[in-house]
A = this chain, B = another copy of it.
Amino acid sequence: MPDSADVDAVVVGAGLAGLVAARDIAAAGHDVLVAEARDRVGGRVLNAALPGTSGEVVEAGGQWVGPGQDRIAGLIKELGLATFPTYDTGDKLAELRGARARYGGRIPRLNPAVLADIGQAQLRLDRAARRVPLDAPWSAPGAARLDGQTFATWLARRTATAGGQAFWRLVTEAVWSAEPGDMSALWAHFYIHSGGGVDSLIGTSGGAQQDRVVGGSQRIALELAARLGGRVATGLPVREIAWDAGGVVVSAGGRQVRARRAVLAVPPPLAARVRFDPGLPAERDQLTQRMPMGWVIKVNVLYDEPFWRADGLSGQANSDVRPLGTVFDNTPPAGRPGVLVGFFEGAHAQAAARLGQPERRDLALADLAGYFGPRARKAAGYLELDWAAEEYSRGCYGAFAAPGTLTRYGRSLRAPVGPIHWAGTETATRWAGYMDGAAESGERAAAEVVAALAG
């Protein structure tokens, strides 16, 4: 289509996936432009300044890295950034069906029948997940059967206790910010395999919440963008992409960019909101109709100091009944202010979003006080972000596949359409839904583009 292109490749979206794709395309000697709708880079990764500090931050979006996340670890190193361990000293708190446990090891002392029930289901889940090929989940043994049922159905058949059911609901909310009844059981299995198993996904030391990035995880995006310099254009929401075999013309904010290749580095449901001319093949369009975003409201609560540490508590807490179901210590490396980060996830996020901000703050503080005692009510600050309300994310942590999607439409997740390539953590094979998956997807899409530009 473009006789002469303005650039070799245009990347839509300056989240980690798009920035990594642009880095690799530029490194191969091609002109690239990143068009970002927001006035900032990072997408679902975003720092928030801690008031009253000299530049300390916490994350309002994705933040943790862990073992096995080699791509994001490599990127952090390459960019001269550093990590530090998530605070994981002291006891954790767990509430399940009214029972409360304070525990030091991996497993809370709860009803042994419930623990056995949970363990048995986890064994079966991890084993079944490992049989799902990461690059082709649709070819897993029994894929059609798994994809034709919700994760809730799968779990209900493999748990015998109400406590076991409550536990897995909590895990689903914590990992996907969605409910077990929303999601294809095959997607859940794929995702668990993709992230190295249940313990890996939910763990702190040794798991996906092990480490934090000094200066906040958005530093990764900011450093990538700094190296790309003028090749990143913010405030440029892409509304339309005209395309043919020869290239694309991208319309954004009254501006048109011509390129030989495009990388769409936005979540599937948002990719559907770009108008394509001609329209995309029905297979691809149907995919984007069937991968909704999870819903999370992330809350950072500030205290003069991390008072729970003196009580021998790690700041980590989980509950199947409290709306703020998952909490971690998110204190910056300097140790002050004390920060607890909590998550309203799935149905809890939806319910909390109906409240006004003051009521939601009260709800969060009440839950924190329930975990950590009355001092938790005396917050020095409160930061929150409802990711489903963000026009250019419309949910977090990521998109998941509704039942029937992966087996029939999964092949369209990564398959280029003419000159259009797809990135974003949802398209990753390893650590889909994580920053690591975003990096993988950017590298893969860039490799496709570089090969096409050489052809």
Question: A395 and B148: CB pair below 8 A?
Answer: no
User: Is A161 at the interface (CB under 8 A from chain B)?
Assistant: no
Question: A394 and B289: CB pair below 8 A?
Answer: yes
Contacts of A183 in B (CB 8 A): 404
Task: Report the copy number of this chain in the oligomer.
Answer: 2
User: Is A375 at the interface (CB under 8 A from chain B)?
Assistant: no
Contacts of A153 in B (CB 8 A): 148-150, 153
User: Is A9 at the interface (CB under 8 A from chain B)?
Assistant: no
- Bound form: Cα–Cα A130–B350 in Å: 29
User: Is A402 at the interface (CB under 8 A from chain B)?
Assistant: yes
- Bound form: Cα–Cα A281–B402 in Å: 22
Question: A150 and B403: CB pair below 8 A?
Answer: yes
- Bound form: Cα–Cα A386–B286 in Å: 13
- The listed residue with most B CB atoms (<10 A of its CB), out of A183, A286, A347, A353, is A286
Using known A-B contacts A292-B289, A403-B403, determine if residue A181 contacts B148 with beta carbons closer than 8 Å.
yes
- Bound form: Cα–Cα A163–B15 in Å: 50
User: Is A40 at the interface (CB under 8 A from chain B)?
Assistant: no
Using known A-B contacts A148-B181, A239-B239, determine if residue A295 contacts B272 with beta carbons closer than 8 Å.
no
The 0/1 profile, CB within 8 Å of B marked 1, for residues 284-299 of chain A is 0110011111010000
- The listed residue with most B CB atoms (<10 A of its CB), out of A239, A282, A388, A395, is A282
User: Is A179 at the interface (CB under 8 A from chain B)?
Assistant: yes
User: Is A433 at the interface (CB under 8 A from chain B)?
Assistant: no
User: Is A269 at the interface (CB under 8 A from chain B)?
Assistant: yes
CB distance from A229 to the nearest CB of B (A): 29
User: Is A279 at the interface (CB under 8 A from chain B)?
Assistant: yes
- Bound form: Cα–Cα A182–B144 in Å: 11
The 0/1 profile, CB within 8 Å of B marked 1, for residues 136-174 of chain A is 000000001001111011000000000000000000000
Contacts of A291 in B (CB 8 A): 289
Number of interface residues, chain A, beta carbon within 8 A? 44
Question: B286 and A292: CB pair below 8 A?
Answer: yes
- Bound form: Cα–Cα A179–B144 in Å: 11
User: Is A408 at the interface (CB under 8 A from chain B)?
Assistant: yes
User: Is A283 at the interface (CB under 8 A from chain B)?
Assistant: yes
Q: Which of A279-319 contact B (CB under 8 A)?
A: 279, 281-283, 285-286, 289-293, 295
The 0/1 profile, CB within 8 Å of B marked 1, for residues 238-282 of chain A is 010000000000000000000000000000010011010001011
- Bound form: Cα–Cα A405–B147 in Å: 17
Q: Which of A316-338 contact B (CB under 8 A)?
A: none
Q: Which B residue sits closest to A148, measured CB to CB?
A: B181
Contacts of A196 in B (CB 8 A): none
User: Is A391 at the interface (CB under 8 A from chain B)?
Assistant: yes
CB distance from A352 to the nearest CB of B (A): 11
User: Is A180 at the interface (CB under 8 A from chain B)?
Assistant: yes
Question: A272 and B273: CB pair below 8 A?
Answer: yes
- Bound form: Cα–Cα A289–B287 in Å: 11
Q: Which B residue sits closest to A409, measured CB to CB?
A: B350
- Bound form: Cα–Cα A350–B285 in Å: 12
Contacts of A404 in B (CB 8 A): 150, 178-179, 181-183
Q: Which B residue sits closest to A144, measured CB to CB?
A: B181
Contact of A290 among B147, B292, B391 (CB under 8 A): B292
User: Is A107 at the interface (CB under 8 A from chain B)?
Assistant: no
- The listed residue with most B CB atoms (<10 A of its CB), out of A147, A289, A290, A389, is A289
Given contacts A148-B153, A285-B388, 8 further A-B contacts (CB under 8 A): A148-B180, A182-B403, A273-B273, A282-B388, A282-B395, A286-B293, A289-B291, A290-B402
Top 4 closest pairs, chain A to chain B, by CB: A148-B181, A282-B388, A182-B404, A289-B292
